[in-house]
Amino acid sequence: MKIRSKRVSTNNLNGRGRRFAVVVARFNAPITDVLRDACVDTLTAHGAGVRVVSVPGAFELPLAAQRLAQSKKYDAVIALGCVIRGETPHDRYISMETARGLGQAALTTGVPVLFGVLTPLNERQARARAGRGPNNKGAEAALAALEMAALMETL
Ligand code: INI
């Protein structure tokens, strides 16, 4: 049995009147461009406004995300990147610090910061998570952001 339940609720996904920032790493751009496009398309399809900001690599995502969140102009910030496993531990330093920094940005600002960073073992795994169709972590992060924006208003 496949135990991958629907992680994002379909409730409260109305984006009208909301604004989101999408910060995307250019490293592994063939993958992150697809994540970005799916993320932006999903947000706009739900009626939301979007600003896209690009940074060199995943390591730079937390600072940009934190700055955007601090501005209080956005209901949520979505960070997109792709850190592919390499021969040395370099990728693990980047992915761990990126995850830690993005979590910290959310907790210190009180603004949802979504983790749309792939950490695949190879390009095949990356492409499987950045498809042009339904399997796209950028679209998934967008839905999670819409849900969190609505949730934050109720807490
Ligand atoms: N950045 C990524 O986004 N993905 C990677 O896989 C990656 N690797 O493996 O090196 C990567 N490196 C660049 C890093 O994010 C910074 O941009 C760079 O170290 C400058 O701070």
Q: Is 97 in the pocket of ligand 1 (CB under 6 A)?
A: no
Q: Give the alpha-carbon dihedral of 107, 47, 51, 38, to 10 degrees.
A: 90
What's the rounded Cα separation, in Å, for the pair 36 and 33?
5
Distance 57 CA to ligand 1 centre (A): 5
What's the rounded Cα separation, in Å, for the pair 155 and 150?
9
Q: Whose CA is closest to atom 4 on ligand 1?
A: 83
User: Using an 8 Å Cβ cutoff, are 24 and 54 in contact?
Assistant: yes
DSSP state at residue 71: T
Catalytic residues: 90
Distance 98 CA to ligand 1 centre (A): 10
Q: Roughly how many angstroms between the first and final C-alpha of the chain, as a whole number? A: 35
Q: Which two tokens stand for residue 91?
A: 């990728």
Tracing tokens 């739900």 back to the chain, one arrives at 46
Q: Is 84 in the pocket of ligand 1 (CB under 6 A)?
A: yes
Q: Whose CA is closest to atom 7 on ligand 1?
A: 83
Q: Which two tokens stand for residue 79?
A: 């960070």
pLDDT tens for each residue of the chain, 155 residues long:
455 555 655 567 889 999 999 999 999 999 999 999 999 999 999 999 999 999 999 999 999 999 999 999 999 999 999 999 999 999 999 999 999 999 999 999 999 999 999 999 999 999 999 998 778 999 999 999 999 999 999 99
Q: Is 41 in the pocket of ligand 1 (CB under 6 A)?
A: no
The continuous run of DSSP H or E covering 23 comes out as: strand 19-25
Q: Which CATH class is domain 19-154?
A: alpha beta
Q: Whose CA is closest to atom 19 on ligand 1?
A: 59
Task: Give the closest residue to 90 by CA, choosing from 115, 57, 64, 66.
Answer: 57
Q: Whose CA is closest to atom 14 on ligand 1?
A: 57
Q: Is 90 in the pocket of ligand 1 (CB under 6 A)?
A: yes
